[in-house]
A and B are shown apart, each in its own frame.
Chain A
Amino acid sequence: MFAYVVKRLISGVLVVTLVSMAIFLLFWYGPSSPAQPICDRETSNRCGNKIEIYEKTLGYNNPVHEEYAKFVKGVFVGRTLTIASNDYECSAPCLGVSFRTKEPVKEELLSRVPATFSVAIGGAFLYLLFGIPIGVAAARRRGSVADKALVSSFLFISSIPYYLFALLTWLYLTVTFEIPLFSNTGYFSPITEGPWAWFSGLFLAWVALGIFGCTQYTRFTRGAMVEALSEDYIRTAKAKGLPSRTIVYKHGLRAALVPVVTIFGIDFGTLLAGTIFTERIFEIQGIGWWSLQAVQGMDLPVVQATAIFSAVILIISNLLVDIVYSVLDPRVRLS
């Protein structure tokens, strides 16, 4: 088990390195100079041949491997970055300085983590809380009118693109009906601005994520549960004289949870890496919105940092899924 985790972590580090290299190369050999956007911004679109100063100070005249080595060194020991005539101190682990705000990327990233994590954890909590029990209930009544109505209405909801669904929730609940609880969306620090502000600001985002995820997890759980309940060991449990609650939950759900947990691990990792639509629509200053702004503004260090952050989160969540899988299913051995 320990050796397995170490092995997976080593390969994870390798993947992160490759991701960072790929992003570095893609920007380096892109259609326009990576220095062009920052030069345009700082000279009010009269960049002209000042581009050379930016390219020189940002190191875009040097060979790519030298600059990549500097970047890696910065991650471990920090570095001083020069943009045009100004120096910016960037302490380890240095992920660069934002071209727009001139702030170190790492600090900005860390300041946005709580917002994204709050959205992800709250939304996931809601959709598991409702999705799994509804799925179990539907599986127990499979084929009934209630089951068919539920499955088809949930299929209808999850066929709507998520961005449209989230936009519609906002339009109706906040704009049309002006429900007070949903009036002020956004991220407010639970410490400095109070837990109520934090809760009410995120609640609509949780509801949107929760309902949409619930429709999906109901279907996953229902499918896994229908399969589990038709297994031979369920018949054995019945033949033992166990009450139906024990049969459904202890024998059925226990087996049905394994595939659901696997899907959830990957899903939740994606949520933690940034919920772009949710954050953009509900104006939550998280990693998702930040990376969207960075892409729009060609803020290369930020794009690079968010991509690496996503890779790290996904690698960790994949590893956790595999570990949890081996705990849930004793037939799975990690090696």
Chain B
Amino acid sequence: MTSVPVTQSAATAAEVVDGPYLQVEDLQVTFPTEDGPLTAVKGLSYSVEKGKTLGIVGESGSGKSVSSMAVMGLHDPKSAQISGSIRVGGTEVVGLSEARMRSLRGNSMAMIFQDALAALHPFYKIGAQLEEAYLVHHSGASKRDARRKAIEMLDRVGIPQPDRRVDDFPHQFSGGMRQRAMIAMGLVNDPSLLIADEPTTALDVTVQAQILDLLQDLQREFNSAVIIITHDLGVIAEMADDVLVMYAGRCVEYGTTKQILTSPEMPYTWGLLSSIPDVTASTDARLIPIPGNPPSLLNPPTGCPFHPRCVHSDKVPGDLCVTELPALTPATGPGHLKRCHIADPSAVYRTEVLPEIAPELLEETR
């Protein structure tokens, strides 16, 4: 394999392409199960430009990880049916041969996972795992080059004494350091697209902030497109330029981070915002959870998938919520999209939701 020319051509191809580095169009991912086909992602479209960060939020089972793993081509082709289009740096990834896919994976696009203790191999040294990731895409490089690169990357992500810690096993690292090593491994080939799947979920809050800072620094340095998958709107506020809210495998709201956090127009997003604890609020303040459970993807609810849990469906005339899936339509702000039947959701948000979750913000907006 001539990997050096391959990486070069991939890099130049990426520069030639105008517009977003990653473009996902009408993505659908279906798994055949014993109880029938399970469609985990339906009609999902989004794009991410280089240097920008897209946050994908949603509950467990909303399809956030499944859609990102489809981008990386990590689903078993025997058990997952993927349709639609995923273009990475101009290359159509859906239906791409395994060999071509492998040369992209870990090279022009990389993924970092939550729970680095499980995601790193327990029997190999940190350095060996980084070297392996480097060497598989640089077959011309020597073992010593790879080791130097591994130490350099560990240093870059803030591991103290990287020349010594490179020979440690994952269990000898602390949780935060493991996640840093995971990030170093993801970035070792300077990918143009980085997908971070709940990168801070297993960490304590102070370490979370450090990891997020690190990711932001690295993004500025490498100018890569970043997708950050999370259920934590705090992470979104910190990191993302744009936000995609997913529910039951579909996009239910899309907009800039400011639009989503300050003027959301979909009751599910309101629910997510209402359930964030506020450290400055009085200790008597109540969290408002979203009632009910995430829907079954095998038998999704008719109409709007959120209607069984939606407390605002009475504002829609007739039983439209039950019978008809709302289209993803433009909301008030530019580029802001929402999937809801309510005629004027921003008015409902201002008069009913905001007073309950953040009355002080209401004062400001008035």
Q: Which of A232, A241, A242, A330 contacts B123 (CB 8 A)?
A: A330
Q: Is the CB of B72 within 8 A of A328?
A: no
Q: Is the CB of B74 within 8 A of A238?
A: yes
B103 at the interface (CB under 8 A from A): yes
Q: Which of A233, A244, A246 contacts B118 (CB 8 A)?
A: A233
Q: What residues of chain B lie closer than 8 Å to A330, measured between beta carbons?
A: 122-123, 169, 171
B21 at the interface (CB under 8 A from A): no
Q: What residues of chain B lie closer than 8 Å to A240, measured between beta carbons?
A: 105-106, 132-133, 136, 185
A251 at the interface (CB under 8 A from B): yes
Interface size on A, residues (CB 8 A): 21
Q: Is the CB of A242 within 8 A of B122?
A: no
Q: Which of A239, A241, A331 contacts B122 (CB 8 A)?
A: A331
The residue of chain A having its C-beta at the shortest distance from the C-beta of B185 within the complex is A240
Q: Is the CB of A331 within 8 A of B169?
A: yes
Residues 114-140 of A contacting B (Cβ, < 8 Å): none
Alpha-carbon distance between A239 and B68 when the two chains are bound, in angstroms: 11
A89 at the interface (CB under 8 A from B): no
Q: Is the CB of A239 within 8 A of B111?
A: yes
Residues 248-284 of A contacting B (Cβ, < 8 Å): 251, 254-255
Q: Is the CB of A241 within 8 A of B104?
A: yes
Q: A231-B118, A330-B169, A331-B169 given as contacts; is B106 within 8 A of A239 (CB)?
A: yes
- The distance from the CB of B40 to the nearest CB of chain A, in whole angstroms, is 16
Q: What residues of chain B lie closer than 8 Å to A246, measured between beta carbons?
A: 136
B107 at the interface (CB under 8 A from A): yes
Alpha-carbon distance between A254 and B107 when the two chains are bound, in angstroms: 25
Alpha-carbon distance between A225 and B118 when the two chains are bound, in angstroms: 16
Interface residues of A, dominant DSSP: helix
- The distance from the CB of A255 to the nearest CB of chain B, in whole angstroms, is 6
Q: Is the CB of B107 within 8 A of A241?
A: yes
B121 at the interface (CB under 8 A from A): yes
Q: Is the CB of A236 within 8 A of B123?
A: no
Alpha-carbon distance between A210 and B106 when the two chains are bound, in angstroms: 42
B98-111 interface bits toward A, Cβ cutoff 8 Å, 1 = contact, 0 = none: 10001111110011
Alpha-carbon distance between A330 and B172 when the two chains are bound, in angstroms: 10
A30 at the interface (CB under 8 A from B): no
A178 at the interface (CB under 8 A from B): no
Q: What residues of chain A lie closer than 8 Å to B171, measured between beta carbons?
A: 330-331
A113 at the interface (CB under 8 A from B): no
Alpha-carbon distance between A109 and B72 when the two chains are bound, in angstroms: 63
Q: A241-B104, A242-B132 given as contacts; is B113 within 8 A of A235 (CB)?
A: yes
Q: What residues of chain B lie closer than 8 Å to A151, measured between beta carbons?
A: none
Q: Which of A232, A243, A254, A328 contacts B113 (CB 8 A)?
A: A232
Residues 90-146 of B contacting A (Cβ, < 8 Å): 98, 102-107, 110-111, 113, 115, 118-123, 132-133, 136-137
Alpha-carbon distance between A255 and B133 when the two chains are bound, in angstroms: 19
The residue of chain A having its C-beta at the shortest distance from the C-beta of B103 within the complex is A241
Q: What residues of chain A lie closer than 8 Å to B98, measured between beta carbons?
A: 244
Q: A232-B115, A235-B74, A330-B169 given as contacts; is B120 within 8 A of A241 (CB)?
A: no
Q: What residues of chain B lie closer than 8 Å to A242, measured between beta carbons?
A: 102, 106, 132, 136
Q: What residues of chain B lie closer than 8 Å to A329, measured between beta carbons?
A: 122-123
Residues 193-251 of A contacting B (Cβ, < 8 Å): 231-233, 235-244, 246, 251
Q: A254-B123, A330-B169, A331-B171 given as contacts; is B110 within 8 A of A239 (CB)?
A: yes
Q: A240-B133, A240-B136, A242-B132 given as contacts; is B119 within 8 A of A232 (CB)?
A: yes
The residue of chain A having its C-beta at the shortest distance from the C-beta of B169 within the complex is A330
Q: What residues of chain B lie closer than 8 Å to A237, measured between beta carbons?
A: 121
Alpha-carbon distance between A279 and B353 when the two chains are bound, in angstroms: 82
- The distance from the CB of A119 to the nearest CB of chain B, in whole angstroms, is 33
The residue of chain B having its C-beta at the shortest distance from the C-beta of A233 within the complex is B121
Q: Is the CB of A236 within 8 A of B136?
A: no
Q: What residues of chain A lie closer than 8 Å to B110, measured between beta carbons?
A: 239
Q: A235-B74, A238-B74, A240-B185 given as contacts; is B105 within 8 A of A255 (CB)?
A: no
Alpha-carbon distance between A81 and B331 when the two chains are bound, in angstroms: 104
Q: What residues of chain B lie closer than 8 Å to A232, measured between beta carbons?
A: 113, 115, 118-119
Q: Is the CB of B113 within 8 A of A241?
A: no
Most B-side CB within 10 Å, residue of A235, A241, A246, A329 = A241
Q: Is the CB of B137 within 8 A of A236?
A: no
Q: Is the CB of B107 within 8 A of A236?
A: no
CB-CB nearest 3 A-B residue pairs: A241-B106, A241-B105, A232-B118
Known pairs A240-B136, A241-B103; list 6 more (Cβ under 8 Å): A232-B115, A233-B122, A239-B105, A239-B106, A329-B123, A331-B122
Show 9 residue pairs from A and B whose CB-CB distance is below 8 angstroms, ordered by the A residue: A237-B121, A238-B74, A239-B72, A239-B74, A240-B105, A241-B102, A241-B107, A330-B122, A331-B169
